Amino acid sequence: MSTIIIDGKDVSQRIREGLKAEVAELTAAGRTPGLAVVLVGEDPASQVYVGSKVRACEELGIYSQKWALPAETTQEELVELIHKLNADDRIHGILVQSPPPPHIDEEAVILNIDPRKDVDGFHPVNVAKLVLEEEDGFVPCTPLGCMELLKAYNIPTAGKHAVVIGRSMIVGKPMANLLVSKKANATVTIAHSRTADLPALCRTADIIVAAVGRPEMVKADFVKPGAVVLDVGINRIDDASRPRGYRIVGDVDYADVCDKCSAITPVPGGVGPMTIAMLMANTVKACRQLTC
């Protein structure tokens, strides 16, 4: 069996090219999409992610604001900024980079973002819209990117059994809702750390989505022959042979699993590139809805 390696870089680039044309059309009509990215503190990984998002905006012609706030910023100061951005007509999407410093209540921050500008899809209004399958809501970017990869590779979901490993509000639960929706028509099982005999459950799956945050946890004995495996994990593990002293791996043991799959996403280069592409897509969508 020949395994299809799902190329997230290629798919995301094609999506970005389409978005660039769409942004140019909106800008010509006086409706330039705008994204505000807020970073509290100096977490190195968060700084990299924010930089990638700002560069993507520049590439596509999206107006962007980057707010780099000191780690000692108070909850009240952050909420005040969010209210200012909610009222700014140039801004159609607001993203507060996660995780914030420990003294910031992240859930309270999300609640203060205008749901119409919540391009991360974390506000309860958008969570409800996802469950209710209302088209004007925003879906979290990573699971939305997973669905786009399945679509790009013509991987069927209707009538298939999908096992989602992980139950976070960022990936696991929205991923399950997307797969069980009337558009996808999959039968979905959500698995997690308390699931009994996880390998046996996964072997019943036609599609496995690994989003548990454990390096290379999914082994060959989790996968039935011909299954599709989407690896959402991004984990740093020590590797003295690498110049930086570490390497990036997913939640799936790629070398162990690859030959059993009909299709699989690598890490890096699989799901990861899709996340920022979907953030840009959500921002363009927000612009269209707010300026229609």
Whole-number Å distance between alpha carbons of 231 and 155: 15
| Residue 118: strand, helix, or coil | coil
Known catalytic residue at 120:
yes
Strand ranges across the sheet with 34-40: 63-69, 34-40, 93-96
Whole-Å CA distances, 286 to 44, 66, 83, 137, 139: 29, 18, 17, 9, 12
- Say whether 43 is catalytic: no
Q: Which residue in 53, 117, 129, 173 is the catalytic one?
A: 53
Report residue 129: phi and psi, to 5°.
-65, -35
- Is the torsion defined by CA of 289, 274, 262, 198 positive or negative? negative
Please give the pLDDT value at position 48. 86
pLDDT digits (tens, 9 = 90+) for 123-134: 999 999 999 999
Q: Which of 114, 117, 118, 120 is catalytic?
A: 120
- Asked if 31 and 60 touch (Cβ cutoff 8 Å), the reply is no
User: Which residues are CB-neighbours of 90 under 8 A, at least 6 positions away?
Assistant: 32, 34, 63
Which of 97, 129, 231, 285 is catalytic? The answer is 97
* Catalytic (active site) residue 75: no
Which portions of the chain are predicted below pLDDT 50?
none
Write down the pLDDT at residue 1.
Answer: 66
Note the pLDDT tens digit of each residue in 126-175. Answer: 999 999 999 999 999 999 999 999 999 999 999 999 999 999 999 999 99
CA dist 178 and 130 (Å) reads: 8
Give residue 51's pLDDT. 92
In this predicted structure, what is the pLDDT of residue 193?
84
For residue 15, list its beta bridge partners: none
Strand order in the sheet with 4-5: 4-5, 261-264, 227-231, 207-210, 161-165, 187-191
Query: Which residue has 């300026």 as its token pair?
Result: 291
The pTM of the whole model exceeds 0.75 = yes
Cβ atoms of 228 and 264 within 8 Å: the answer is: yes
How many C-beta atoms surround the C-beta of residue 101 within 10 A?
A: 16
209 DSSP 8-state letter: E
